Amino acid sequence: MTTVAISGAEGALRSRISEALTQLFDQVISFTFGLDAVSLTEVECVVHLAFSEDSDQKNLIGLLELATEAEISRLVVVSSAMVYGAWPNNSIPLSEDAAVRPNPESTFAVHQADAERTALEWADFNLERQVTILRPTAVASPNASGLIGEALLAAAPIRTRRDDPPQQFVHLDDLATAVATVVQLDDSGVFNVAPDGWLTAREVKDLVGARPTIRLPIPLPGRLDRYVARRVGHQAPTGLLPYTRYPWVVANDRLRSTGWVPRYGNDQVFVAAEAGMPWDSMNAKQRQNVSLGVGAAAVIGLLCALGSWLKRTISR
């Protein structure tokens, strides 16, 4: 009997992955380290969801200690493509060979990179251990988007000056089947998870539709975090500005070579997930207040920047 365990972030993602694994394996154990008492004695592979903004690696380290005690040699870590960072000189698209250089202001991205490093260090202690890392782009689906997918959907109409990078969104179900696919592989490696291609700035604008595109001056990056939190209706990952300014779309060729095929395209994911955002439950006045609030912030930022420039000019 083949048993697979799945740990990490709770919610729709873990549920969908558990469902996908249940179709392939005899038993799937879903648990949260530190909260659920669990035995990994009969487990052959552990899937860990690293989706979190927590910088503390104690839970992952504790999980790896349990895996070591149970003599488990197979680990799959679901990380994020955000570990590549969003930089002006990024290739389009990024392959798995690209350097890991998350933008330091994004604690979410930095945490994913730390989790990957911790897992790889665990594998280095025993040559029989195999670690597979999945790096999905922004994960989204109707009523069940990932933290980053939800935040980037909210930030879709926000841009700084002329920055219009391509965007990607992978469906939660496609990520679940990707996990199920690599669990069956008898090998280590890194795999990007994304639909074919990406959305251009023009395509995103067309999909956003009536929602106005709001241009912010570069001196106002902190405003983006507050706008996103207001739109999703709860606290969201911070430090997303670089990921809205510069490209970080990824290639899926390596994962496709295993037989995995994405069921949904970028546009399908965007439209379906966008329809479930809190923005659509707002009335006209509430939408206007949100847009005016961000617009007012932009004007204030411009005035501050102008005042600073005048002050420097006069002091010369």
88, 89, 67, 84: which is closest to 76 by C-alpha?
Answer: 67
Give bridge partners of residue 279 from the DSSP assignment: none
The pLDDT of residue 271 is 85
pLDDT at site 201: 83
> Hey, where are the domains in the chain?
3-315
Of 39, 38, 33, nearest to 14 (Cα)? 33
What residues does 136 pair with on adjacent strands? Answer: 193
Query: What DSSP state is assigned to residue 161?
Result: T
Fold of the domain built from segment(s) 3-315: Rossmann fold (3.40.50)
Neighbouring residues of 232: CB distance < 8 A, sequence distance ≥ 6: 150, 151, 154, 277, 278
The one-letter code for the residue type at 282 is M
Tokens 């912010």 belong to residue: 216
d(CA 71, CA 66): 9
Residue 119's Cβ-count burial label (10 Å; 0-12, 13-18, 19+) is buried
What's residue 94's pLDDT?
Answer: 98
> Which has the closest alpha carbon to 181: 8, 50, 66, 45?
45
Tokens 């680990």 sit on residue: 75
Cβ–Cβ contacts within 10 Å for residue 314, how many? 7
Close Cβ partners of 172 (under 8 Å, ≥ 6 residues apart): 12, 13, 16, 139, 140, 141, 144, 145, 146
Q: Are 226 and 127 in contact (CB under 8 A)?
A: no
- Extract the runs of DSSP E, i.e. beta strands, from 151-273: 158-160, 170-171, 189-193, 214-216
With a cut of 50, which residues of the chain have pLDDT below it? Answer: 219, 276-303, 305-306, 309-310
Question: In angstroms, rounded to a whole number, what is the distance separating the alpha carbons of residues 93 and 39?
Answer: 41
Q: What is the pTM of this model?
A: 0.82
Phi, psi of 28 (to 5 degrees): -125, 125
> What is the tens place of the pLDDT at every residue in 144-167?
556 677 777 777 666 666 678 899
- Identify any residues that bridge with 46 across adjacent strands, giving them in sequence order: 5, 75
Q: Residue 130: phi, psi to the nearest 5?
A: -120, 130
Question: β-strands 158-160, 214-216: how paired?
Answer: parallel
* pLDDT for residue 187: 85
